[in-house]
Amino acid sequence: MILDRFRVDGKVAVVTGAGRGIGAATAVALAEAGADVVISARTEDQLRTVAKQVEAAGRRAHVVTADLSDLDAVAGLAGEAKDAFGRLDIVVNNVGGSMPRPFLDTTPNALTRAFEWNVATAHALTRSAVPLMMEDEGTGAVVNISSLIARVGGRGFVAYGTGKGALSHWTRMAAADLAPTVRVNAIAVGSIATSALDIVTQDDGLRTAVEDATPLGRIGEPEEIASAVLFLASPAGGYITGKIIEVDGGAERPQLEM
């Protein structure tokens, strides 16, 4: 059956930023499709809640509370997967971000931090994960969470947009280096109803502005990104690598400017 191609039974995944929002939804989606999951973020109680949802889906969760801006900590998640579950097949690089600010208030250090948080973390974890994915002639899938603002201009997002733009191109470069054994793709997300967007969803004016800038006329849900992650990580996406999948409600311009 075609639906079997969306299964990841017996696979092991690492999901960063998994305490809430897109990361949490992704961890649960992968579990519902058959994977055991290593979940990591800063806040343990959030991770424990997600772990219960993973276990309710009949799979195992391994919680790693960590500051994932520490490159050694994020790289160590690959070993955590090996130690906890004996293998590693899927990596979802979901940490990242940068606070919006005017151009003249964006220092060179802010650009550097945006690159480290959005790109270096993905590189550190993926670099540690690839040898484990390739054990016993195995294969792997990496999915990076990028952004609409990586490909369009928007006031106030020079650091964030540059960081995500670099992540998108890192995706293409890593895919070329690692083919055919490890597939590497990314999702360019639009405005999604996570805690990071509370300032928008709780303000009628801002929410309307975002909805008006989105052809589908609404803000997306974390589960819609999780569904795309599952597609790219599963055999259903087995002929896709080096691509940036846009899940943004059809937006062709910034949905919000600061």
Residues involved in catalysis: 160
Q: Count CA within 13 A, CB hemisphere, residue 54.
A: 30
Phi, psi of 64 (to 5 degrees): -125, 105
Cβ atoms of residues 190 and 251 within 8 Å = yes
* Of residues 152, 147, 162, 157, the one with CA closest to residue 245: 147
Q: How far is CA 186 from CA 59, 170, 245, in A?
A: 25, 10, 6
Two tokens at 48?
Answer: 């424990």
Two tokens at 92?
Answer: 């979802």
For the residues of 10-26, what is the DSSP string, one character each? T-EEEEESTTSHHHHHH
